[in-house]
Amino acid sequence: MEFRLNFKLGLVAVIVLAVFVTLYCAFDELIASSSLIHLADKYIYKRKEYIPVSFDEQIELGFNSDNFNITNNLNDTRQGLNELELREINNLMNTNKISFDQARLKRLERTLNQNNIDESGLPRDPKFVQFK
């Protein structure tokens, strides 16, 4: 009787552990692909890849283009681009296989949408009045 009870408890513990590991992995992937990535980075611990802080390192990793040229900042002593935004752009580049400029555009469109602003830059607020 005691052996059966211990066996059942052990089996239940293994199943519960397997469910938690599966949920953790699924949640981690969901956060990485969602638009809430900036909130997740602020409030939820998750594995973080290294994002370089100097302009030199950021250029080497492809965070530079003809439209967004930071080569003039090479000898600048200031810290590089915002790490949180770069992490989101890097995630977009890797998951969607798009260029740096396309990822920046996607991030900007998402930010405008989250702030209830349309493509032309005008608010979507029904109370908004525009004088011409």
Instruction: Give the residue-averaged pLDDT of 97-116.
Output: 90
Residue 102: its pLDDT value, please? 93
Which of 37 and 26 is assigned the larger pLDDT? 26
Instruction: Give the residue-averaged pLDDT of 92-106.
Output: 90
For residue 113, pLDDT over 60 is answered with yes
The tens digit of pLDDT for each residue in 27-66 reads 766 655 555 555 555 544 445 555 656 777 777 777 778 8
The tens digit of pLDDT for each residue in 58-97 reads 777 777 788 877 777 777 666 667 778 888 888 898 899 9
CB distance 56 to 74 below 8 Å: yes
CB distance 119 to 112 below 8 Å: yes
